[in-house]
Amino acid sequence: MDLVGGLWHFVNFYASAVGIGFIASVVAKLLWHRELKATPWLRLWLWSAGTAAVIAIAGLIFFGRDGKIATYGAMVTACALSLWWIGFGPGRRS
């Protein structure tokens, strides 16, 4: 595999984590705009995408391959939990 092919594999591996973090953050900001007014959108996005990326790596290590539906389900769950933690839970900054 050449450098460009490796780069595309890397980008595509993390695209689902970045995408789910982006979509979940935007939806959370739209649905709970009053409650999340003080929380920056970028902070929500970075935390949710970061936790989804960690779960993607854990799924790759655990299952030995990418693309398992259990990994994607765990990514959605981790993304939702991180949004709750940052937006409403103990990680919230007043």
Tokens read off for 38: 């003080």
**Per-residue pLDDT tens over the stretch 36-50:** 998 999 999 999 999
0.95 surpassed by pTM: no
> How far is residue 79 CA from its own chain's centroid?
5
**Per-residue pLDDT tens over the stretch 17-28:** 999 999 999 999
pLDDT the model gives residue 4: 93
DSSP secondary structure letters along 53-76: HHHHHHHHHHHSSS--HHHHHHHH
Helix or strand holding residue 6 (H, E): helix 3-31
